[in-house]
Chain A
Amino acid sequence: MLRSILFIITVGFLIGCQPVPDAEDLNRDLVVQTDYDETANFGSYSTYTLTLDTLGLISNSVKDTLILGSYARDITAKIKANMDSRGYTYVAKNQNPDLGVNAFVVYDFSIFQTISYPRYGTGYYSPYYGYYYPIVNTYLNNSGALILQLVDLKKKNSQNQFQVIWTSYIGDIVSSVDPYKKSVEAVEQAFVQSPNLKK
């Protein structure tokens, strides 16, 4: 009997040893995912608007709705540099832009989707900050993602929803070994892997 128990315990112990990659290796770089609306003609847009120096924040555990400071400044500056280099012209919100750029962080929020994105966001212009809430499905708790969206401000459906024509998902910025630097690099990568995003 004792031998059988020893045998079962030994088997159980070894089965329980399921190796996984080292966390530090896994978090060395951020995952950058992009998707675009194949019906959108990116060459037809000329102007865009973007809230500089500020990122939106969606979180269940933090009351703030905005991120300010150097992180937001460098992220939005990188977005602007890429949009400018792709031939789009930055204008203020009240100058009737063709495109709106949303940039926000989702942190510890239970309804964010990670892989594919809807064509429409249930968006509206917040009176404080101009970003649109994404339609989302699932989310990995205790992680954070930087989301970029390009919204066609000329297309709005009967539910007041604007068409999202390009989205980038960058994560996980919470467990990253260097979230600041890696986020900026990831924004650059989001545009690199989106060659059709140009005037």
Chain B
Amino acid sequence: MKSVLFLTFAIVGWAGQVQAQYFDKTYSLALDINKPLSNTDFVNQVSARGFKFGYREMINERIFGGIDFTNTTYDSYEPRKTYTSGTSAITTDLYNYAYSYGLTLSFDYFFKIEQKLMPYAGLGVGASYINYSQYFNVYSNKYDSWGVLVRPQAGVIYRLKEDAGWALQAAVHYDYSSAKSQELDLKAFQNMGVQVGVIILNW
């Protein structure tokens, strides 16, 4: 999380030199806070260990298209207990992790443009990769899973000054990823998230 904040400030500093009233390309970096909605037996904690990078180009006056890259790490802790399976039993505590990565082709529709406050709604569709890991003592089980990612999202961009080259961005999103794990009996992964960050306008 500190890394995301540091890099956010670095990029804002860089973009502070840019003055633009109009923008046709944007780059964004945001802290992504997520809550898993499915597979909560495996990971159930709200995670602030996530980020989003976005890139957009103007398609027309109100529609921007581009890519989003996201990463979130979910985890949960299972206290020590005994698990039995057939003739076998194992006693351990478990640290469950889901390392989630997404790359989507995304489109946003802006309800207002070239103003201080610009609300938008969008949809991203792409690929999802989730590494489901269980750590216990020095041992671990790791399972990779790929799937389709669908992410509807809505947010606002807020420029502190109308001619600023950067702005604050906040968004909410819902993610559906078909990346499952047969080994761990995990279904499609779903989560809700809030993103807060900066967007560089016309970098």
Give A contacts to B, CB under 8 Å.
3, 6-7, 10-11, 13-15, 17-21, 25-38, 114-116, 140, 143, 171-172, 175, 189, 193-194
Does B182 lie at the interface of the complex (its beta carbon under 8 Å from any beta carbon of A)? no
**Binary flags per residue of B1-16, CB closer than 8 Å to A gives 1, else 0:** 0011001000100100
Set B27, B80, B136: member contacting A7, Cβ < 8 A: B27
Does B87 lie at the interface of the complex (its beta carbon under 8 Å from any beta carbon of A)? yes
Q: Do A35 and B87 touch across chains, with their CB atoms under 8 A apart?
A: yes
Does B42 lie at the interface of the complex (its beta carbon under 8 Å from any beta carbon of A)? no
Cβ contacts under 8 Å, A193 to chain B? 82, 84, 89, 91
* Contact of A31 with B29 at beta-carbon distance under 8 Å, contacts A11-B69, A19-B73, A189-B91 already known: no
Q: Do B73 and A35 touch across chains, with their CB atoms under 8 A apart?
A: no
**New contact pairs (4) apart from A31-B90, A33-B88, CB-CB < 8 Å:** A14-B4, A34-B89, A116-B88, A172-B138
Q: Do A171 and B99 touch across chains, with their CB atoms under 8 A apart?
A: no
Does B53 lie at the interface of the complex (its beta carbon under 8 Å from any beta carbon of A)? yes
Expressed in whole angstroms, the Cα–Cα distance for A104 and B137 within the complex equals 20
Q: Do B99 and A18 touch across chains, with their CB atoms under 8 A apart?
A: yes
Q: Do A14 and B73 touch across chains, with their CB atoms under 8 A apart?
A: no
Expressed in whole angstroms, the Cα–Cα distance for A165 and B86 within the complex equals 14
Q: Do A26 and B135 touch across chains, with their CB atoms under 8 A apart?
A: yes
Q: State the interface size on chain B (CB cutoff 8 A).
A: 35
Least CB separation from A18: chain B residue: B99
How many residue pairs link A and B with beta carbons under 8 A? The number is 91
Cβ contacts under 8 Å, A194 to chain B? 89
Expressed in whole angstroms, the Cα–Cα distance for A97 and B88 within the complex equals 26
Cβ contacts under 8 Å, A143 to chain B? 138
Least CB separation from A34: chain B residue: B89
Closest approach, in angstroms, between the C-beta of B41 and any C-beta of chain A?
Answer: 18
Q: Do B88 and A175 touch across chains, with their CB atoms under 8 A apart?
A: no
Q: Do A37 and B87 touch across chains, with their CB atoms under 8 A apart?
A: yes
Q: Do A27 and B138 touch across chains, with their CB atoms under 8 A apart?
A: yes
Closest approach, in angstroms, between the C-beta of B183 and any C-beta of chain A?
Answer: 13
Does B97 lie at the interface of the complex (its beta carbon under 8 Å from any beta carbon of A)? yes
Set A19, A29, A114: member contacting B80, Cβ < 8 A: A29
Least CB separation from B84: chain A residue: A193
Closest approach, in angstroms, between the C-beta of B23 and any C-beta of chain A?
Answer: 15
* Contact of A31 with B87 at beta-carbon distance under 8 Å, contacts A3-B203, A15-B71 already known: no
25 contacts between A and B (CB under 8 A): A3-B203, A10-B11, A10-B53, A11-B53, A13-B7, A14-B3, A14-B4, A19-B97, A21-B135, A28-B93, A29-B92, A29-B93, A31-B90, A31-B136, A31-B137, A33-B91, A34-B89, A35-B88, A35-B89, A38-B86, A114-B139, A115-B88, A143-B138, A171-B137, A193-B89
Does B49 lie at the interface of the complex (its beta carbon under 8 Å from any beta carbon of A)? yes
Cβ contacts under 8 Å, B75 to chain A? 19, 21
* Contact of A38 with B69 at beta-carbon distance under 8 Å, contacts A19-B49, A20-B97, A171-B137 already known: no
Expressed in whole angstroms, the Cα–Cα distance for A26 and B49 within the complex equals 20
